[in-house]
Each structure stands twice: as C-alpha cells, then as structure tokens.
Amino acid sequence: MELEITALGVVLLAYAVVSGRLRGTAITPAIVFTGVGYVLGTEGLNLVGGEIEAEPVRLLAEVTLTLVLFSDASALHTGALRREKGTPLRLLAIGLPLMIVFGVLIALPMFPDLGLFEVIVLAVLLAPTDAALGQTVVSDERLPSRLRQGLNVESGLNDGICVPLLFAAVAFAELDEAPTFDGGIVVDLVKEVGVATAVGAAVAAAVATALTLSERRDWLDEKWSQVVPLATAAVGYAAAADLGGSGFIAAFVAGLVYRQMVGSSRAHETTKLAEEVGGVLSAVTFFVFGTTVIGRGITELDLATVAYAVLSLTVVRMIPVAVALIGSGAAPQTMAFAGWFGPRGLATIVFMLTIVGDSNLAGTGRIVEVATVTVVLSVIAHGVSAAWLTDRYVDWFSTRAEYRVSQAHDEVDLVQPPRRSLWH
C-alpha cells in the first residue's frame, strides 16, 4: 500500500507542476493518469495495482462521480436551463433510449456468447456520458449556452436514470428464463428518479436555508463554508440510496437546488473545494483504472470487442443524438458535435465495478472487457479532439450567428440572424 500511495503522490505532484502548461491541450488529466497508471500497473511494470473486485476501488469511483455531478450542477445557469430545457429533454427522453436500443441491436450479432439480457446490461452500462472527460466542451463559453447546458445536464442525469435499468437487466440476466415484462422496470425507474429528485432537493433546500440563517447571524466561519457542498453531496447521495433512489441523480439535483437557493455567486464561492476535490479524485480514479482495471479487465482482446467499442462511441451515440435533435433547429454540424462529445468515463467505470462485485453473470468477463476498451478509447479520442474540435466548431458557428452578452443573466446568448435557426 505504501508503494501505491507513493506512486500516486509522485504522479499527482508531477502533473500539478505542469498543469497550467497542459491546460487546453490534447494532454488531458484522464490521459495522463490512465496512461501512467497502466505503465505502473499489472500489465506494465507491475509496481502497483490490486484486485478489480476491491471495494475501495468502487467506493473511490462512486465518491468521485457524486462530487463531480454536484459540482457540475451547481455551476449550471439555471435561468438559461429553464429557457433551454428542450435540448436536455430531447437527449434524455429520445437519445438515451435509442442509444440503448442501438447498442443492443449491434451487440447481439457481434457477441453470440452473451445472452439477450447480458447484451442489454452492456448497452446500458455504456449509455451514460461523462461531463468530466468533456469538461473542455461544457465549460467553453464560446459555445452556445443551449449546447453546453444540454450536454452537461444530459451527463448529469443519464447515469442516474440508467441505474434502475442496469439493475433490472442484471436481475433478468441472472434468471434461467427471461421473465415476462410486467411494468416493474418502469415502476423501479420512476421510483429511482422520483425518490432521488425529492431527496436531493430536500437536502439541498435544508442545507441552503441553514447556511443562509447562519450567515445572517454571523455564525459561519468562512473556511467551513467550503465543507457545506461536500457534506450536501454526501448526505444527498447516501439518503437517496437508503430510500431506494439513485444517489447520483440526488447529487445532481442537490447541486441545482443549492445554486438556486444560495445564489450563483455564493454557490461559486462555496463549491471551490468540492470542485477541486472532485477533480483530484477523478484523476485518482483514472490512475486506479489504469493500474488495476485495464490489465485485469482486458484478458482476451479480439476484433469484435474493439469494433463494438468504436461503434459505441460513434454510431451508437451519434445517430440517436441526431434523431433526438430533429425538429430542434440544430444544424447537421451541431448534431455531429453533440453526438461526438458523449465520452464514457466515471459512470461506466462505476457500473462496471458494480457488475463485477454484485453479479454472477456468465458474460461478466466479456462485458468488462468491452466496457474497459470503450473507456480507454474514449479517454484518448475525446481528450485529444476536445480542444481542436471545439475551436473548429466555434469558427464555423461564429460565421453563422452573432453573440450578445445577456445583461440579466450574465451569460453568452445567441441572437437569431434572419432566416436562420438558433443553432445555425
């Protein structure tokens, strides 16, 4: 354990001293920590690395994803989100189901060794996107708010929505005979989302009220204000999970409500520590992914696995997104941009570790292998392309629309030019 901690500390320090130089380049934290972890791990120098089934690995990934979701939500422009809710609704209500369906239809002939419900498990596991890997995109204010907010909200909610689907698919796959659908999945999904939304909102509202009252009475030490968002995310996640809801959705909703109740400037001030901790834990998670999961997860790499991983990041993602955005006024370039930036990362890693630790599927090895290869390819492809493609899209977009700074909402809005849609 001492060697693992030493190695991780050295990597963190090394990246920290050059982090400013690497910002905005193709060398992202996920690429660095995954790559170095792989070199030092079981398939490289074999200096560090443990069992893929280890509970601490899964706990690390879950804590990281919870903090990232809360921080991302607390940074959303809620006013713009209310006006632009159509895009995330389209991506979640149309795009997400289609991604799962496409994933199943493509995987069935490619993996004859997997049963139907095991294929569904694979498709659901690879459906959620990771805002952290696409941070360059969702944080670049040169992009239209409608696009940035849509991708951010999608990544914040799709992993939580997939939780009950994943558990249901695993339960069905573990049965000797597939059961008859009786609506139980829909009930579980509604329960997961409903309980999580209620708990996340209630916890954040209570915390925000207590924080406001404490500040009015001058009881709050400003240093301790940074602890408030961390505790809010943790309580929201744990409470929702205990009550049968999705802890990840609860964390995201808590971030939205927290920002709304304490105000955007105060939310920004108090979530700095949560954002930094989430960023560091994300790097640590990808380091552990490189040292442990890649080497032990990829055992018999074949063409079908690599091909499906590529298709998952392209066809399975991009066509459903294009279909979801039909009628929204989005140009083909916007559809392609939004479709490409659906990186797979923390959520897929968490789900994969859940499958390994909590299920007895005969196809677990294949599922883990495909998911691992997909995440590795996503880390590289989306990391390398994010800054470059964003610049190209902004260059194209700026020739077809003008920007204005909204005085009321302090954000970049789009002015509709004559005879063109908002997205053109």
pLDDT tens digits for range 198-227: 999 999 999 999 999 999 999 988 889 999
pLDDT tens digits for range 224-237: 999 999 999 999 99
Instruction: State residue 339's pLDDT score.
Output: 94
pTM, to two decimals = 0.81
Distance in angstroms (rounded) separating the CA atoms of residues 282 and 131? 11
Compute the average pLDDT of residues 317-346. 92
Instruction: Considering only residues 389 and 25, tell me which one the structure prediction assigns the higher pLDDT.
Output: 389
Confidence category of residue 119, pLDDT binned at 50, 70, 90: very high
The fold of 2-396 is Na+/H+ antiporter like fold (1.20.1530)
Report the half-sphere exposure of 168 (CA within 13 A, side-chain side): 22
Beta-bridge mates of residue 406 = 411
Instruction: Considering only residues 382 and 51, tell me which one the structure prediction assigns the higher pLDDT.
Output: 382
Whether the pLDDT of residue 403 is over 60: the answer is no
Confidence category of residue 3, pLDDT binned at 50, 70, 90: confident
Q: Name the one residue in this structure whose structure tokens are 């968002």.
A: 229
Confidence category of residue 68, pLDDT binned at 50, 70, 90: confident
Confidence category of residue 413, pLDDT binned at 50, 70, 90: very low
Confidence category of residue 368, pLDDT binned at 50, 70, 90: very high
Give me the chain's average pLDDT, please: 84
Whether the pLDDT of residue 137 is over 80: the answer is no
- What are the structural domain ranges in the chain? 2-396
The closest of 255, 222, 311, 292 to 72, measured between CA atoms, is 255
